[in-house]
Amino acid sequence: MPDPSIPGLAPDRPYFRGFDPSSVPTPCFVVDRAALQYNLDILSGISRDSSADILLALKAFSMFATFDQVRSSLSGTCASGVHEARLGREFVDKQVHSFAPAYNHQDLLQLLELSDHIVFNTPGQWARYSPACLEAHHINPSLRFGLRINPEHSEGTTPLYDPAGPFSRLGTSRQAFTRYLETLGDSPGTASPVDSASSGLVTDSWFRPGGILHGISGLHMHSLCEQDSFALERTVHALEEAWADVLARPEITWLNLGGGHHITKPYYDRSHLTALIHRLSSAYNLKIYLEPGEAIAIHTGILVTQVLDTLWNGMDLAILDTSATAHMPDTLEMPYRPDIWGAGLPGDEAHTYRLGGQTCLAGDILGDYSFPRPLNPGDRLVFDDMAHYTMVKTTTFNGIGLPSLALYDSRTGAVEVVKSFGYTDFKSRLS
């Protein structure tokens, strides 16, 4: 098969050059190590030029067979809970930053042992767990704690992926933050409330021992999704308008700018990002962290599938050995239409098909595509750009098997199937 021509890819990007879809079982996720390294080299260059630490967001890409490359290129991982934190510690073993909208006591105790940074979603949750955290910090002085804040500035267009949208549960708004501090003024044994004359500005007492913010050394924000450095700049401006007094506190030594940065896309202005990081770091004397997931794994992976049957019901239909709902749920959630190598929009080529999955769900539809020749059982179809988020969201709905996992390397042509799944994987999830 000729090399795929993917619109928007940099011409020097290695991406499945010479790959033969028949070299792997189906369905199968395949990651190109050369393409992954291309992204990692860009990100490590940003880290070098800006002095920011860049972390792999495991929620987006967790194929630990590639973590030897991640370990060599990035500063660590960020986790959404105990399992991801443990994965990052075991297979990368550099920095582990953890955040969840809420913690239970048992999970927090494990995260205190696994993590370097733990971020709390609200000051109330920090207040409940700060005694255990400060005790852990006494044992491990390198452990750091932060608060996730909501910049209340939306750049995205899809509400499902907008943490800064109305009534979001993700992060603390400045109004909620100030109201929480004010309510503590009536509680015995707490520091004095925020001075109303200061328009809600925090005071020294909140950071001293016994104060509600004692032990908090950084802030975390995340509200972008597949966006550029100028969207980040506008968001940072909103952040500074609301939180400059907290950012300027000597106790606050780091700022995590979250993910959603399309840093490895050809259009992304990386010099602008570097300048923005330098300005923030210099203005507030902060260590800056970024935690992209998509930027690390974008244009590195594919899903190889096979046509099982064709039929006609008002239009040509084809059933594949994959599933939208079980193997690529983002196509239904976002929703979006994934590209297929060699296929066009309906009517572009001579033969248009509606592609469906193997499950009983009537809406398990992958989309309408046209092909230069009729599809037949046994034909291989390759869905493009399937590494980020898609791989981590697969399920065994209807008992459908999980796709195998494979590695390819455009530099050498080597193919390795690293894992296949079977009945035991399905059975073990349920009892």
Residues 31-86 have pLDDT tens digits of 999 999 999 999 999 999 999 999 999 999 999 999 999 999 999 999 999 999 99
Would you say 299 and 263 are in contact if contact means Cβ atoms under 8 Å apart? no
Question: Which pLDDT belongs to residue 2?
Answer: 38
Tally of residues, the chain? 431
What is the domain partition of the chain in residue ranges?
21-31+301-386+394-427, 51-297
Rg (CA), the chain: 24
pLDDT band at 185 (very low <50, low <70, confident <90, very high): low
Question: Which pLDDT belongs to residue 158?
Answer: 83
Question: Which pLDDT belongs to residue 198?
Answer: 43
pLDDT at 365 over 90: yes
pLDDT band at 190 (very low <50, low <70, confident <90, very high): very low
User: Which of 200 and 11 is assigned the larger pLDDT?
Assistant: 11
User: Which of 324 and 13 is assigned the larger pLDDT?
Assistant: 324
pLDDT at 281 over 60: yes
Task: Output the CA torsion 39→45→47→49 (10° steps).
Answer: -150
Q: Is 294 labelled as part of a ligand binding site? A: yes
pLDDT at 205 over 90: no
Angle between helices 123-139 and 105-114 (to 10 degrees): 40
- List the single range of 10-14, 17-21, 401-405 with lowest mean pLDDT: 10-14
Question: Which pLDDT belongs to residue 12?
Answer: 79
Question: Which pLDDT belongs to residue 10?
Answer: 72
On whether the 51-297 domain is CATH 3.20.20.70, my answer is: no
Q: Which residues pair with 405 in a beta bridge?
A: 29, 419
Task: Please state the separation of Cα 24 from the chain's center in Å.
Answer: 27
Say which residue the tokens 């592609």 belong to: 355
User: Which of 211 and 261 is assigned the larger pLDDT?
Assistant: 261
Task: Please give the C-alpha separations between residue 81 and each of 25, 249, 428, in angstroms, as whole numbers.
Answer: 32, 29, 21
pLDDT at 187 over 50: no
Q: Using DSSP, state whether 90 is helix, strand or coil.
A: helix
pLDDT at 237 over 90: yes
pLDDT at 197 over 60: no
pLDDT at 9 over 80: no
Assign domain 21-31+301-386+394-427 one CATH number from 2.40.37.10, 3.40.50.300, 3.40.50.920, 2.170.150.70.
Answer: 2.40.37.10
pLDDT band at 183 (very low <50, low <70, confident <90, very high): confident
pLDDT band at 186 (very low <50, low <70, confident <90, very high): very low
Question: Which pLDDT belongs to residue 11?
Answer: 77
Question: Which pLDDT belongs to residue 204?
Answer: 81
Q: What's the CA gap between 351 and 169, in Å, rounded?
A: 46
Question: Which pLDDT belongs to residue 5?
Answer: 55
Q: What is the pLDDT of residues 366-407, one digit of tens each?
A: 999 999 999 999 999 999 999 999 999 999 999 999 999 999
Tokens at residue 143, please?
Answer: 């452990």
What is the pLDDT of the chain when averaged over all its residues? 92
Contacts of 293 (CB under 8 A, 6+ apart): 56, 57, 58, 59, 60, 61, 259, 388, 389
